[in-house]
C-alpha cells in the first residue's frame, strides 16, 4: 500500500533523516550514536505510525461520509415509498368509498325493483281474480243459456205437428192461431219477426211452458214467444179435436 498526503510527507522526512544519519554515522561522536540516533529512529517510527493513523482516520472519515450518504439516500427512498404508500392508501380509501356508494345505490335500486315486482304481482293477482270472476260469470251465463236451450228443445219436442193439420189434446203446449193456423207455420211468416209493441199481443203461457231465464236477454225469442204478434188462445179448455 502506497502512502500519500501527510503520511507520505512524514515517511519521506523520516527516511531522509535516516539517510543523513547513516552517512554521518562514522563522524558522529559517541553521544550521537548512543543518544541522538536512537531518538531520531524513534521519531522516524513515530512519524510512520502517525502517518498510518492519519491514513486510517482519512479512510474512516471517507467510510463515514459514504455511510452518511447511504443512510440519507435510504431515508429519502423510505420517505418516497412512504409518500407513495400513503397516496395509494388514499386512492384505495377513495375507491372503497366509491364502491360503497355504488353498492348502496345498487341496493336501493334492487329494493325499488323488488317493490315494483311486488306491486306487479299484486296487480296480477287482482287481474287474475277479476278474470276468474268474469270467467265464472260467463260460465254461469253459458250454463243458463244451455239450460234454456235444452228447455226450448224439450218444449219443441213435445209438440206434434201433422202434415195436413194440427192435432190438439188437453195439456198440449202448441197454440192455435186465428183461422186454424199452427204456431209452427206462423213462425215461418214475416210477421213472426216483427218485434211487439210493449205488452200488446203477448200470448198467455200455459203452466207447462218454461218461463224465460233471468240471465237471458229480455228480447230473446222463446218457443212460446216467437208468434206473440198474433192473438193466442189457451187450448187446454177446448175439447180434443183435429183441425183439417
**Per residue of the chain (244 residues), what is the pLDDT tens digit?**
444 555 455 555 555 555 555 555 555 457 666 777 788 888 888 888 888 999 999 999 999 999 999 999 999 999 999 999 999 999 999 999 989 899 999 999 999 999 999 999 999 999 999 999 999 999 999 999 888 888 777 777 776 544 444 444 444 444 444 444 444 444 444 444 444 444 444 454 455 555 555 554 444 444 444 444 444 445 555 555 545 4
Last-in-domain residue among 141, 157, 173: 157
Last-in-domain residue among 100, 123, 157: 157
Last-in-domain residue among 117, 142, 157: 157
**Which range marks the domain in which residue 216 is found?**
161-243
Residues 6+ apart with CB under 8 A from 166: 174, 176, 180, 182, 242, 243
Q: What per-residue confidence (pLDDT) applies to 10?
A: 53
Specify the 3-state DSSP secondary structure of 181. Answer: coil
Residues 185/226, Cβ–Cβ less than 8 Å? no
Same domain as 68, residue 151: yes
Same domain as 56, residue 130: yes
Residues 6+ apart with CB under 8 A from 40: 17, 18, 21
Q: What per-residue confidence (pLDDT) applies to 116?
A: 94
Task: Look at the chain and count its residues.
Answer: 244
Same domain as 3, residue 86: yes
Q: What is the dihedral of CA 149, 209, 205, 137, to 10 degrees?
A: -40
Number of domains in the chain: 2
Specify the 3-state DSSP secondary structure of 74. Answer: helix
pTM of this structure: 0.32
Among candidates 128, 126, 150, 152, which has minimal Cα distance to 222?
152
Measured between alpha carbons, how far apart are the two ends of the chain, in Å? 166
Amino acid at each position: 500500500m502506497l502512502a500519500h498526503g501527510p503520511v507520505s510527507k512524514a515517511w519521506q522526512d523520516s527516511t531522509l533523516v535516516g539517510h543523513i544519519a547513516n552517512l554521518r554515522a562514522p563522524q558522529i561522536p559517541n553521544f550521537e550514536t548512543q543518544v541522538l540516533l536512537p531518538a531520531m529512529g524513534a521519531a522516524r517510527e513515530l512519524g510512520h505510525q502517525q502517518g498510518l493513523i492519519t491514513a486510517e482516520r482519512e479512510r474512516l472519515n471517507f467510510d463515514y461520509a459514504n455511510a452518511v450518504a447511504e443512510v440519507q439516500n435510504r431515508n429519502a427512498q423510505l420517505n418516497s415509498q412512504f409518500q407513495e404508500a400513503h397516496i395509494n392508501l388514499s386512492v384505495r380509501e377513495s375507491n372503497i368509498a366509491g364502491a360503497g356508494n355504488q353498492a348502496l345505490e345498487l341496493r336501493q335500486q334492487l329494493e325499488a325493483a323488488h317493490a315494483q315486482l311486488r306491486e306487479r304481482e299484486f296487480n296480477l293477482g287482482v287481474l287474475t281474480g277479476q278474470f276468474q270472476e268474469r270467467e265464472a260469470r260467463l260460465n254461469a251465463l253459458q250454463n243458463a243459456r244451455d239450460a234454456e236451450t235444452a228447455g226450448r228443445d224439450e218444449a219443441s219436442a213435445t209438440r206434434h205437428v201433422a202434415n195436413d193439420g194440427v192435432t190438439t189434446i188437453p195439456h198440449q203446449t202448441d197454440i192455435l192461431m186465428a183461422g186454424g193456423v199452427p204456431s209452427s207455420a206462423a213462425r215461418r211468416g214475416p210477421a213472426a219477426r216483427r218485434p211487439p209493441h210493449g205488452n200488446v199481443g203477448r200470448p198467455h203461457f200455459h203452466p207447462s211452458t218454461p218461463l224465460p231465464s233471468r240471465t237471458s236477454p229480455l228480447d230473446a225469442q222463446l218457443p212460446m214467444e216467437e208468434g206473440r204478434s198474433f192473438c193466442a188462445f189457451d187450448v187446454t179448455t177446448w175439447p180434443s179435436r183435429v183441425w183439417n
